[in-house]
Amino acid sequence: MPTPIPTDADPLSLAFAAARRAAAEGEVPVGAAVVRGGRVLAVAHNRPRALNDPTAHAEILAIRAACAAIGDERLVDCDLYVTLEPCPMCAGAIAFARIRRLYFAAPDPKGGGVEHGPRVFNQPTCHHAPDVYGGFREAEAAALLRDFFAVRRT
């Protein structure tokens, strides 16, 4: 179930609120928001454990909800805000959904698929590459992840 959408926050703040909700539910704290023309279409957080679904990443769930909201499998003129650099699976979904711009907070050198790893959007087989902007509130996102995993290790 996507996170309810408050109307008084910017998209990245909504993504961070969703990420904190994920952490509270025992999920890796990643949140995402899809926006078109200033209107928030969807907000979601990671839920693979809750849904027993390895594809239930915040980006995938937000993309699905946004597609349902507009009644189209393409999110042309939509922007995606995420608290962590998307993995290769999510980068592929972003390309297929034709997301216009991707904004993310923290890079993910180990599991990322945009600026790290396979760099999905740079591949000649990639059908669509969004404009990518990273590093927004990076320290906040990194701290959220670090704190989540520190608790898990104890």
- Judge whether 87 is annotated as a binding position: yes
Is 25 one of the catalytic residues?
no
Q: Would you give the DSSP letter of residue 9?
A: S
State yes or no: 126 annotated in a binding site: no
- Is 90 marked within a binding site? yes
**Distances from the Cα of 19 to the Cαs of 32, 37, 70, 72, 74, in angstroms?**
8, 23, 24, 26, 25
From the candidates 25, 27, 59, 115, which is the catalytic residue?
Answer: 59
Looking up tokens 């009644």 gives 71
For tokens 């945009």, what's the residue?
114
Pairing of strands 78-84, 101-106: parallel
The CA-to-CA distance between both ends of the chain, in Å, stands at 30
Residues making up the annotated binding site are: 57, 87, 90
Binding residues for Zn(2+): 57, 87, 90
Active site residues: 59
